[in-house]
Amino acid sequence: MELWGSVSFRSCKVPLTSIPISTQVGREYLENITAVGPRTVGSPENEILTVNYLLKQIKAIEIESSDAHKISVDIQRPTGSFSIDFLGGFTSYYANITNVVVKLEPRSGAKHAVLSNCHFDSVPNTPGASDDAVSCSVMLEILNTLSKSSDPLQHAVIFLFNGAEENILQASHGFITQHRWAKSIRAFINLEAAGVGGKELVFQTGPENPWLVQAYVFAAKHPFASVVAQEVFQSGIIPADTDFRIYRDFGNIPGIDLAFIENGYIYHTKYDTPDRILTDSIQRAGDNILGMLKYLATSDKLAKSFDYRHGNVVFFDVFGLFVLAYPARVGTIMNYIITAVTVLYLGKKILQPRNRAINYMKELSIAFGFTLLSWFSTLVTVLIVAVFISLIGRSLSWYNHFYVSIFLYGTAAAAKLILVHTLAKKFYYKNTNEQYLGEMFFDVSLLVWSIALVLITQLGLCSAFICAMWVAFPLLTKLLTYREFKQKGATIRFVVIYMLGMFIPYLYIMYLTWTIFEMFIPIMGRSGTEIPPDVVLAAFILSSTVILSSYFLNFIYLAKSTKKTLITLTTVFGVTLILVCSGVFFPYSSDSANPKPKRVFLQPMPTGGPPSPHDSCLRCLGESHQADKCHICKAFKPRTKKERDFRLKQLIMEAALSLVPSSVHRDSALSSVRSAPVAPTGPALHSDSAKDSRRRGLPGTSTTVAPVPVSWPEEEAAQAGADCFFVVSLIATDTSRAGAESIAGAHRTSNGSCTVHSGAARAVESGAC
C-alpha cells in the first residue's frame, strides 16, 4: 500500500537549470494568435493563417534550441469518424482537419512520450483568447523554454496544437487514432477553458493512475485541484466535454485535465479577448505545466505507466497553498475509522442504565426527526420561491447580481431552518434543559454526517473526504470542550474554543463552495431551456446553507431568543423578492469592463424542398431558460440578395426584442442587438431529434452549417442585450452514417466536418459543444 502527500517536495530528477518561462513572450504569442480573428474549423483563419503562424514560431524556436534536443514537426490532416455518448449520443465525421504536432526529444531519440494538448480553433464570433489561444501560447513558450535547456530529457514531449476541438473533439480523435507518434504516448496533459483567465483547475485525472496526481503534487508551483470537481464533471451535470475523453476512451491513456474557470460569463463570446487574461494567469499556467512536463519527461514511471494503474486517489488543494493527496483505499480505511470513533462516542451515552439509555435514544430520534423536518420544509419553501420566480418570468435575476441569490434564497433557507427549530424549542422542548438540548442537537448533526460518510464511502466516491472532515473536526472539538460545557454551559470561553475548532472545516467548505459557485453560475446562463436555472441554484444554495448550519443548530437551543435574527432575515428576503418581481435586477450587463451577455442562436433556414437561399425563415434558439418563449419562425421570399439581407436584419432585431425579459428594457432593446454576423465557415452537420422537432413544430432534419451573409451599418451595433451567433441551415434528410458522409462531402471544400446528432438537439442549442 502506498501513501503519499506533499507540501513542498520536489523530485530531484526535475532539471533545475532550465530557463523560466517568459510571460511577455507568452502574451505576444497570445496577441498574435487572437489577432487572426475567429478561427472556425475550415476557415482560412484557422487552416492557413493560424497554422502558418504556429509553424513560423516553432521554426524560430527550433533554430535557437539546445544541441541536447531534437525537434520534429508534422502537419497532420486526418479524416475519420467516431460515435460518442454525449448529450444524447451522436456520430461525428470529419475530413482534412488540421493538427500541428511537435516532438521534443533527446538527440538520441526516445521510446516513450508525454503529450501536452491544446486547440487553436474557436467557436464563431469570438477571438477565443482563453478557449484556447492562451493554452497554445503557454505551450509555445514551454516548448521554447525546454528546448533551450542544456539538460537532456529522458522521454519525449509531444506538443499537439489541434485545430478542431470545438467541432466536438474531432482533431484529438484524428491524432490519437491515426498519427504515427500516438503509440509512444504514455500520459497526457490537456489544457482547456470553461472561463476567461484566472486559475487553472485540475478537474479530471486518471483514470486510476494516482502517480499522475502525485506528479502534480510534486511539480505544480501554484496548485488548484479538487476531486470534488472531478466527480461533479464526470457525473454529467455539466453539459460539456474535453479532449481528455478522447485520449482516455480511444487511446486508453491516462492524463490530467486542467481548465481556466474564472469569468465564465464571457466564455465562447466575442468578449473572450486577450486583454482580459491577466499576466498572472499566464505565469501560473506556465509554471505549473512546465513543472509537470519536466517531472513526467524525467520520470521512470512514465515508461511503465500501466504498472502504476492501481485505484483512484483523493486529492484537494488547501486554499491554493499545497495539495493533500492519498490513495482512495487509504481514504476508505480512514473514513471507517472516523465512523467507528463516532460510534464509540455515541455508544458511551447509550451504554447507561436502561431507563436513561432508552430515554436518550428516544430523544435522539425525535431530534433527528426535527432536523429532517427542518430540511424538508426548507427545501419546499425555497423551491416554491424558485418556481414562482420562474413562472413570472424573472429567472436569472441573480445572473448579473450574485448577491441577489444569497439575499433571496439564502435568507429564505436560513430563516426557515431557524423558524422550525425555534418552534420546536418553544412548544415541544418548552421545559427541557438548554444545555441538554444543545448537546443533543450536536449529536444529531454528528450522527447525520457519520451516516453520510458511510453511504458516500460505500458508493466509492472520493468526495467522502468532506464528510470525514465534517465529522472528525467537530468530534475533536466536542471532546476538547466537553468538560467546560458540562460544568459551566455556553460560556464565552466555550464559544471561542468551539469556533476555533470548527474554523478549518468551515473555511474549507466556504472555499470549496465559492469555487463551485464560480463554475456553475455562468453555466446557468447557457444551460438551455430544459431545467429552470433558479430551481438549480436554489437547491445548491439550500445545500450550502444546510451544510454550513449543521453544527450551529445547537446554538438555536442555547440562545435566549432568535426573534431579531428571524426578523432581519425575513425582511431582507421580503425586500429582495419584491425587487426581483418588479424587474429591478436585469439579468444581463453590457458593462465593457465586466460584460454578462445573453446568448442566442438565430437560425435562418429554408422552408421549401431543395435548399434555396430565396425561400427562408428565421428560427430563434435560446441558450438560456428565458429564451424558451422565443421560437420565431417567419417566412420570407426575397427577390434579391440585398433584400434578403435587409429582411434578415429586421427579423434578427425583432427576435432580440422578444428576448428582453422585461418591458422596462424594451425601449432600449432595439439598440441592443450586436452586429455579429460571423458563422462557421467549415460545415457542421446536425439533426434535431424527433422529440425536439415536434416541440418546435419543425420536421426532423439534418442541417449543414454555412456562412451568413448579413451586414448592416456599424452605428446600429450595440453594446448590450443579446449575444447572438448566426447559423444558416441547409435541409437534408438522410441521418445515417453513410448519408452523413455523402451530405458532408457535397458541402465540404478542402476542409470541413459534420456531426450527425441523434436525440441531441439541445447540444446544438446550448452551445455546449
Q: Which three cell numbers stand for residue 143?
A: 516548448
**Dihedral pair phi/psi, residue 141, rounded to 5°:** -70, -35
Q: What is the DSSP string of 122-189?
A: --TT---IIIIIHHHHHHHHHHHHHHH-SSPPSSEEEEEEES-STTTSHHHHHHHHH-TTGGGEEEEE
Q: Which three cell numbers stand for residue 762?
A: 439541445
Query: Which residues neighbour 127 within 8 Å (Cβ) at sequence distance 6 or greater?
Result: 34, 37, 38, 133, 270, 272, 273, 274
The C-alpha atoms of residue 434 and residue 473 are separated, in whole angstroms, by 23
Query: Which residues neighbour 341 within 8 Å (Cβ) at sequence distance 6 or greater?
Result: 475
* R_g over Cα of the chain: 29
- Does the pTM of the predicted model rise above 0.85? no
The C-alpha atoms of residue 160 and residue 643 are separated, in whole angstroms, by 45
| Mean pLDDT confidence for 737-762 | 37
pLDDT confidence tier of residue 662, bands split at 50, 70 and 90: very low
Beta sheet of 156-162, edge-to-edge order: 69-76, 99-106, 156-162, 113-119, 185-193, 255-260, 200-206
N residues, the chain:
769
The count of other CB atoms within 10 Å of the CB of residue 668 is: 13
DSSP single-letter state for residue 83? E
Q: Please identify which residue in the block is written with the cell numbers 504515427.
A: 180
pLDDT score for 86? 75
Domain boundaries, the chain: 23-83+98-311, 331-581, 598-766
The C-alpha atoms of residue 744 and residue 535 are separated, in whole angstroms, by 40
Are the beta carbons of 611 and 731 closer than 8 angstroms? yes
pLDDT confidence tier of residue 655, bands split at 50, 70 and 90: low
Active-site residue list: 165
* pLDDT above 70 as % of the chain: 75
Q: Which amino acid is at 8?
A: S
| Mean pLDDT confidence for 652-681 | 42
Helices (DSSP H) in 459-491: which residue ranges? Answer: 464-488
Higher pLDDT, 639 or 749: 639
Angle, CA 273 vertex, CA 51 and CA 43 arms, to 5°: 35
pLDDT score for 459? 92
pLDDT score for 570? 96
pLDDT digits (tens, 9 = 90+) for 232-279: 888 877 777 889 999 999 999 999 999 998 888 989 888 999 999 998
**Dihedral pair phi/psi, residue 611, rounded to 5°:** -60, 130
Helices (DSSP H) in 320-353: which residue ranges? Answer: 328-350
| Mean pLDDT confidence for 334-356 | 86
Cis peptide before 207 (omega within 30 of 0): yes
pLDDT score for 15? 46
Q: Is residue 670 predicted with pLDDT exceeding 70? A: no
> Domain spanning 23-83+98-311: which CATH class is it, in words?
alpha beta
| Mean pLDDT confidence for 384-408 | 92
Q: Which three cell numbers stand for residue 540?
A: 445548491
The C-alpha atoms of residue 531 and residue 220 are separated, in whole angstroms, by 38
Helices (DSSP H) in 158-278: which residue ranges? Answer: 170-178, 210-219, 227-234, 243-251
| Mean pLDDT confidence for 52-56 | 96
pLDDT confidence tier of residue 378, bands split at 50, 70 and 90: very high
Query: Which residues neighbour 358 within 8 Å (Cβ) at sequence distance 6 or greater?
Result: none
Question: Please, which contacts does 457-462 make with residues 24 or more away whose CB atoms are closer than 8 Å?
Answer: 457/331, 457/332, 457/335, 457/336, 460/328, 461/231, 462/227, 462/230, 462/231, 462/312, 462/313, 462/314, 462/315, 462/328, 462/331
The C-alpha atoms of residue 224 and residue 220 are separated, in whole angstroms, by 9
For residue 384, which of 556, 573, 572 has the smallest C-alpha distance?
573
Coil, strand, or helix at residue 73?
A: strand
List, in sequence order, every beta strand (DSSP E) within 394-443: none
Averaged confidence pLDDT in the chain: 78
Higher pLDDT, 111 or 354: 111
Are the beta carbons of 194 and 118 closer than 8 angstroms? no
pLDDT digits (tens, 9 = 90+) for 427-483: 999 888 888 888 899 999 999 999 999 999 999 999 999 999 999 999 999 888 877
Higher pLDDT, 94 or 622: 94
Identify the weakest region by mean pLDDT among 94-103, 536-545, 627-636, 743-752.
743-752
pLDDT score for 431? 83
Are the beta carbons of 247 and 115 closer than 8 angstroms? yes
